[in-house]
Amino acid sequence: MPSTRQRNTVLAAAATASAGALTFVAPPSTPSAARIEPGVVGGHAVAAQPQTSSMGAATVGAAMLAAGCAARVTPKGKGQRKAVKVAAVSTDTEVETDCINSIRFLAVDAVNKANSGHPGAPMGQAPIGYLLFAEEMAYNPKDPSWCNRDRFVLSSGHGCMLQYSLLHLAGYDSVAMDDLKQFRQWGSKTPGHPENFETDGIEVTTGPLGMGISNAVGLAAAEAHLAAAYNKPDFTLIDHYTYTIAGDGCMQEGISHEACAYAGHLGLGKLIAFYDDNGITIDGHTDLSFTEDVGKRFEAYGWQVLVVDNGDQDVDAIRKAIAEAKACTDKPTLIKVKTTIGFGSPNKADSHDAHGAPLGADEAEATRKQLGWNYGEFEVPEHVYAAFKKQADAGSAKQAEWDKLFAAYKEKEPELAAQFERAVLNRKLPDNWDECLPKLTEEDAGKATRLHSQDCLNAIAPVLPEFMGGSADLAPSNMTLMKCTGDFLKDSYSERNFRFGIREFGMGAVCNALSLDKTGIIPYCATFTIFTDYMRSAIRIAALSQAGTIFVTTHDSIAV
């Protein structure tokens, strides 16, 4: 493995990209006895130079890749770029690189051991995951349900070894090293897709593509509502972000169109979505079937759209994009990150071969050499654990500060605090809540069931402030409008009537997430029974997730 000095030497060198060739010229202080042999590193041509580092070509190439070199290089045959200088690398950057490669190789090793799974996506998404769990997110592994934690949803759930690796590195008891080794095995805590009821730290169950990013809309809506309902001057109880990673498949699925258009309409500024644009599906490159401009689509939805050209290596560009996303408070943000599926694999990167099958032992070893990773299977350096622990400890400290804030809040806002404690923290119904329900008599016989439903809904609504929901543009027919509250809109997040529009599938996913947010929200959604076919997958996932979503369906006859 390259030493600290060797890595810094390579990355302090001038990088010149011309006609697709990446050339490293050593600084004067570097020994020049050896040559860098021509070859290919990470899909890019590497040209030899007379004056070079004392390392061989393989070591230089591996160090360049392993250190997350920020130089933007041009693949062979795609034109010329000007020289780009690369700054010297600090020890922190080396730790950063090791953290990212730890994520990659935990995914590679677990999928190889299971002889089943999807290694390619985690290998490309690892820098995003690293930044979220080691730098950006507020979370406490010892209390995964803390109400003001940041939320993370892996919409491309087949790449779940990314999330399991992150939970393990972050110190969640739910994912020990042995659990990673039991990936996809019967009864394990690491099934082939993330399941919220199986593994602490998983917010929602993501199976069908597009479901997760739609769930993320629901989680962000929950944050917006709770903040508007409970925050007071000097008392910001709720203030967290929802992050999601979605792939090409998620962007193609219709549900993402429904939910993301709704998110833009609502202006959910604390929703940040990463589009893992690796250009690969099971059939091959996405240009076989998918050529639209996703960024322009999301801009039309009302999102801020940012672009990172080299998500495999340019960690700082991703970092800056996250900061820019957080600075935009009135729109959700899509960060379009160009990545390489199976990044680092000499023979399977940028290919559907890296999508849904193990790399295999030989290719895994070749990938280790390519990335300069001299650790064994399931081996994680201690300094990597330490880096993630630092962020987890910061989250724990933030929760401790939050506890002090809530204690003061209880003194200043006793009634709201009591409601927050009951509904949000303890998630309990009020005593004798059912006494509000209407009492029926024989005179009520023959009354339409949707009218009975309306009576019950409007009896419950004033008693349960955590009760919220709406209809897919059928509220007058479904009889699902609450009379005691207004519409949940961009300028009125404290209200509880959701106007989902004609978006049955998106509506179901949003409501499932409201329920799974672990803040006591009791959601309902409504449509005609025949239209439930449009959201059947959301109903199925609600059952599998053990969500508390109430589905109200009316007009269940052959005539509608």
Going 205 to 325 to 493 to 145, the CA torsion angle's sign is: positive
Q: Which of 86, 103, 123 is the last residue of a domain?
A: 86
Does an H or E element contain 317, and which?
Answer: helix 315-327
pTM for this predicted structure: 0.84
Please give the tally of structural domains in the chain: 4
Instruction: Provide the domain limits for residue 14.
Output: 4-86
Q: Say whether both 139 and 192 belong to one domain.
A: yes
Q: Say whether both 203 and 329 belong to one domain.
A: yes
Between CA 255 and CA 364 the distance in angstroms is 35
- Predicted local distance difference test score (pLDDT) of residue 193: 96
In this structure, how many other beta carbons lie within 10 angstroms of the beta carbon of residue 323? 10
Do 482 and 497 meet the contact criterion of CB atoms below 8 Å apart? yes
pLDDT tens, residue order, the chain (560 aa): 444 333 333 333 323 232 333 323 333 333 333 332 333 333 333 333 333 333 333 333 333 333 333 333 333 333 332 333 333 333 479 999 999 999 999 999 999 999 999 999 999 999 999 999 999 999 999 999 999 999 999 999 999 999 999 999 999 999 999 999 999 999 999 999 999 999 999 999 997 999 999 999 999 999 999 999 999 999 999 999 999 999 999 999 999 999 999 999 999 999 999 999 999 999 999 999 999 999 999 999 999 999 999 999 999 999 999 999 999 999 999 999 999 999 999 999 999 999 999 999 999 999 999 999 999 999 999 999 999 999 999 999 999 999 999 999 999 999 999 999 999 999 999 999 999 999 998 888 889 999 999 999 999 999 999 999 999 999 999 999 999 999 999 999 999 999 999 999 999 999 999 999 999 999 999 999 999 999 999 999 999 999 999 999 999 877 77
Do 146 and 239 meet the contact criterion of CB atoms below 8 Å apart? no
Listed in sequence order, the residues at least 6 apart from 57 whose beta carbon sits closer than 8 Å to its beta carbon are: 35, 36, 37, 38, 39, 46, 48
Long-range contacts of 413-421 (CB under 8 A, 24+ apart): 413/232, 413/235, 416/230, 416/232, 419/465, 420/230, 420/237
Q: Say whether both 160 and 82 belong to one domain.
A: no
- Predicted local distance difference test score (pLDDT) of residue 478: 98
pLDDT, tens digit, 9 for 90 and up, residues 439-455: 998 888 889 999 999 99
In this structure, how many other beta carbons lie within 10 angstroms of the beta carbon of residue 501? 16
Q: Say whether both 350 and 212 belong to one domain.
A: yes
Q: Say whether both 520 and 414 belong to one domain.
A: no
**Residue 446 DSSP SS3:** coil
Domain annotation covers residue 111 = yes
Domain annotation covers residue 291 = yes
Between CA 252 and CA 15 the distance in angstroms is 37
Q: Which residue in 258, 363, 466, 504 is the catalytic one?
A: 504
- Predicted local distance difference test score (pLDDT) of residue 72: 32
Domain annotation covers residue 215 = yes
Q: Which of 53, 86, 119 is the last residue of a domain?
A: 86
Q: Say whether both 365 and 464 belong to one domain.
A: no
Q: Which of 48, 69, 86 is the last residue of a domain?
A: 86
Q: What is the four-CA torsion angle of 277, 283, 285, 286, rounded to 10 degrees?
A: -60
- Predicted local distance difference test score (pLDDT) of residue 77: 35
Q: Does the active-site annotation cover 504? A: yes
Q: Say whether both 103 and 192 belong to one domain.
A: yes
Domain annotation covers residue 391 = no
Q: Say whether both 151 and 299 belong to one domain.
A: yes
Listing DSSP states for 131-148 in one string gives HIIIII----TT-TT-TT
- Predicted local distance difference test score (pLDDT) of residue 498: 99
Domain annotation covers residue 549 = yes
Q: Say whether both 12 and 79 belong to one domain.
A: yes
39-41 and 44-46 beta bridge pairing: antiparallel
- Predicted local distance difference test score (pLDDT) of residue 559: 72
Between CA 545 and CA 204 the distance in angstroms is 7
Domain annotation covers residue 142 = yes
Q: Say whether both 410 and 492 belong to one domain.
A: no
Domain annotation covers residue 390 = no
In this structure, how many other beta carbons lie within 10 angstroms of the beta carbon of residue 401? 9
Listing DSSP states for 465-523 in one string gives TTEEEEESS-HHHHT---TTS-EEBTTBTT--EEE--S-HHHHHHHHHHHHHTSS--EE
Between CA 208 and CA 54 the distance in angstroms is 50
* CATH number of the CATH domain containing 331: 3.40.50.970
Q: Say whether both 124 and 208 belong to one domain.
A: yes
Question: By C-alpha distance, which of 292, 280, 312, 250 is closest to 100?
Answer: 312
Domain annotation covers residue 48 = yes
Q: Say whether both 405 and 537 belong to one domain.
A: no
